[in-house]
Structure 1
């Protein structure tokens, strides 16, 4: 049975709002809530057991990081990145992640390589068994952990936000089978990291992003209203 959080203390409500925010973010990033999905406050408030005010706070936060759009009289929808925005997201990622590789190599240690290789193997297994949500999550984790090696927390946070928006781009414009990045690309990047050869590594990273953009079809899909009870109905159990 779902718990009703509406009568709880402010601190508990804050924790619950954080939980709802993460639940919705995960569902969007992992393509369980596709671009264009309507996010009605009343339905979400009911399934999470909070007030509409609490849901509105969460939706406002998601809109601030451009994961959803909110319009007067229309409500909230999962964002649908335009063609120009989609290309700009990956262009920005390429510039930031490639420029930071020199700092990554300066701080790179053997345990970092072991951790990255583990992520690649997990990602490959997710693709093999058809677990699209896990493949998306692990693909993003590879890029985030790679950049985190540099020790630049601000840049790592920027890359984290961009990977979330990248998932929206792939959900909007990618082929139905497209989930995250190609594992073979990540394998290649890992091998070049081992060699600590900056120029080929940078070129491979640039090519990686160029390939992702070239694989996108830029064909819109229709809007839909998700089954929130199926997605989140057991969250408070």
Structure 2
């Protein structure tokens, strides 16, 4: 009987030792000296070409790809602050162009065709467009290939017409008048001179027509005797 107890204790000790060795082997941190890694694709070849095209369009500016809205915007005012932050977390843009102050000025997505659940994706694009407009960031859709885009100089000239006024950065102290204007959403209701409403997403064809619309608007603002006659 005593020998049986001795054998049982030896078995239990061996089991405990094995469990301890297993735990130690699986929890002990490796030095990493034998680890090896493989590079993954950050951008597709098409994205690399578009990034080069945007650098040519905005020389000297910072152009970033695949940027979440949460990394380029913050909630300025919202009825539900948590929900507004969640919208920023779930949205991203394909490219963003920053001004000299490091803040975003233009955001771009590349047009996609034959998408599954296209209606839901279109709704998300409209939400993204509305969010960006309230921050003074113009959102546009790019063609899915630089061979379908205008020259960088022509594209930049049209983008200058499409630029939006930007709200005052939140770190700057607002006057009482400015706080009042913020409360009544004066900026959010402001339609830019291009006439595009918040619910509309500007594509390349709409952007290329801005020069003609701008000239026509300026012509209408002149006295009748100075207006150009197209007919």
TM-score range, shorter chain: under 0.3
Looking at secondary structure, tell me which structure has more strand per residue.
2
Larger-Rg structure: 2
Q: Higher helix share goes to which structure?
A: 1
TM-score when scaled to structure 1? 0.24
TM-score by length of 2: 0.24
